Amino acid sequence: MNKKRIGFMILFSFMLAIVLAGCSSKSNPAKESKDQDNSKPKDELVLSFGSEPATGFDPTTGWGRYGSPLFQSTLLKRDDDLKIVNDLATDYEVSEDGKVWTVVIRDDVKFSDGEPLTAEDVKFTFETAAENGSVVDLNVIEKIEVVNDTTIQFTLKEVQSTFVNSLVATGIVPKHAYTKDYAENPIGSGPFQFVQWDKGQQLIVEANPNYYGKEPYFKKITFLFLSEDAGLAAAKAGTVDFVAVPAAFADTKVPGMTLKSVKTVDNRGIVFPYVPSGEQTEDGLPIGNDVTADPAIRQAINIALDRQALVDGVLGGYGSPAYTSVDGLPWWNPDTVIEDGDLEAARKLLEDAGWKDIDGDGILEKDNLKAEFSLYYTADDAVRQSLTIAVADMLKPLGISVKVEGASWDVIAQKMFSEPVLMGWGSHDPHEMYNIYGGANAGVDWYNTGYYKNETVDDYFAKALQARSEEEALEFWKKAQWDGTTGLSAKGDAPWAWLVNIDHLYFVKDGLDIGKQRIHVHGHGWPATDNIADWKWSQ
């Protein structure tokens, strides 16, 4: 970001402080905590997030899938232990054949405009989401039927245990008030209601007086969309109560604020082309890579990489080594953890597989094939760039030459089926694992770009999806990762080399209680706001 833009955002932060000061309550400041910002009422909050939802606040196109939808309620939700509990729903059941899901909802819910929420709104929401497509994949639904005002039935084309996550992640929109500009003027039944969105600057919300759940402590919340530098400047100026920051700012001292680090599954890893070269996609893009198609190469890389060194060196210690895309989640198999950073073991594995430095140039060869490839990352992401460079440095002594290539997503989309790419995922939905490893998803969008396929893994996926409940499916998700013989993890086929899980870092005003932060998902949204209705001042 250029200096003029940074200067503008810092100026905006100070101006906001002046405005808030003019609106402050007449309470005696001496009675309030010395650590709190007395320029505004205690029931108001100012947050700074670097990201802004580019497409607005419509759950049918993806809003709320990486954090609280704020304005909308969902049928179900996850608690702090990631267990599924009721929200709008009072009960749900799945038919014996696993295809019919019947959901009963509360009869006392109103949208923020005062209109009642009924099963018709639920039906409308899911049908609209299915039509809109986007990141909301509801193709499994065959039909939706309203039984009565508080009961709705979803009939699926096939059994899918992970359909429960669609009930968790999809905010309900009002049929009567859903228009073409809904994303910019959302109405919902969630804990907060929309007030104002100044694109590129701020979002203002207020507590929803019609909310059926626990009344939020804060009556007004302002979200500022500041750059990393401007957000830190606003924190130092005392104009924000909470600000998301990168690891590079973690050692900064901010008077009156404390750094909060939250564990995540916001992971980064290298996806390898799994098959040999020679094929093409329907669009004529090359598929496969003869170097990374060798399992010895993929497994040696996984063994050689020192993940803790990446956490310490690139993330400043704010992260954890990653071994799968689901580390720490209920469906994670801890047996996937490997001993890494072992160059000698990696060298022996490659030597046993026939890789040798024949011409003395430091690069291994096998059957006239050099152990070299390009590794792509998004050029505008400093963390991905640093991880990629560090990986290349770690693999050089092993005899594997990695050419680091920063590029746009458009360029990467042309290369990702034939060259390794540093990508990131992270979700509270185990279906994501099926998306990025399932053989049926080979070459589909950004999912299984390496064309990985293992029939045993696919069989475990099928059993997990056909289970009657998330709990029943856990065993199969875990076995897909590693069953003692094969699996999608580094102990098995190693189609990925997962590197790190990135901690999410926030400076939090002293005295602000942001509750128990469950393990965060990928940072596309605002995962810290999952429990924002519970935030309060503790002093």
Same domain, 463 and 517: no
| 192 within a domain of the structure (yes/no) | no
Residue from 194, 495, 229, 484 nearest 382 by CA: 229
- Rounded to whole angstroms, the Cα distance separating 482 from 187 reads 45
Domain end marker among 186, 217, 246:
186
Q: For residues 265 and 501, is the Cβ–Cβ distance under 8 A?
A: yes
Which string of DSSP letters, residue by residue, matches 66-114? Answer: TS--SS---SEEE-TTS-EEESSEEEEEE-TTS-EEEEEE-SS-B-TTS
The number of domains in the chain is 3
- Rounded to whole angstroms, the Cα distance separating 99 from 407 reads 43
pLDDT for 62 equals 86
| 58 within a domain of the structure (yes/no) | no
| 376 within a domain of the structure (yes/no) | yes
Looking up residue 218, the CATH number of its domain turns out to be 3.40.190.10
| 61 within a domain of the structure (yes/no) | no
Same domain, 425 and 293: yes
| 514 within a domain of the structure (yes/no) | yes
Domain end marker among 155, 186, 217:
186
Q: 128-166 burial string, b = 16+ CB within 10 Å, else e?
A: bbbeeeeebebebbeebebeeebbbbbebeebbbbbbbb
Looking up residue 302, the CATH number of its domain turns out to be 3.10.105.10
Same domain, 224 and 246: yes
| 218 within a domain of the structure (yes/no) | yes
pLDDT for 522 equals 87
- Rounded to whole angstroms, the Cα distance separating 231 from 228 reads 5
Residue from 396, 302, 310 nearest 349 by CA: 302
Containing structural domain, residue 351: 267-502
395 HSE (CA, 13 A, CB side): 27
| 397 within a domain of the structure (yes/no) | yes
The model's pLDDT over 165-209, given as tens digits with 9 standing for 90+, comes to 999 999 999 999 999 999 999 999 999 999 999 999 999 999 999
- Rounded to whole angstroms, the Cα distance separating 166 from 521 reads 16
Each residue's pLDDT expressed in tens, for the chain with a length of 539 residues: 443 343 444 344 444 443 333 333 333 332 333 344 456 778 999 999 878 888 899 999 989 887 788 999 999 999 888 999 999 999 999 999 999 999 999 999 999 999 999 999 999 999 999 987 666 678 899 999 999 999 999 999 999 999 999 999 999 999 999 999 999 999 999 999 999 999 999 999 999 999 999 999 999 999 999 999 999 999 999 999 999 999 999 999 999 999 999 999 999 999 999 999 999 999 999 999 999 999 999 999 999 999 999 999 999 999 999 999 999 999 999 999 999 999 999 999 999 999 999 999 999 999 999 999 999 999 999 999 999 999 999 999 999 999 999 999 999 999 999 999 999 999 999 999 999 999 999 999 899 999 999 999 999 999 999 998 999 999 999 999 999 999 999 999 999 999 999 999 999 999 999 999 999 998 777 889 989 999 999 86
Whole-structure pTM value: 0.88
Same domain, 286 and 412: yes
| 239 within a domain of the structure (yes/no) | yes
Same domain, 213 and 291: no
Same domain, 304 and 275: yes
Give me the residues paired with residue 105 across strands: 89
Same domain, 167 and 275: no
Give me the residues paired with residue 222 across strands: 46, 204
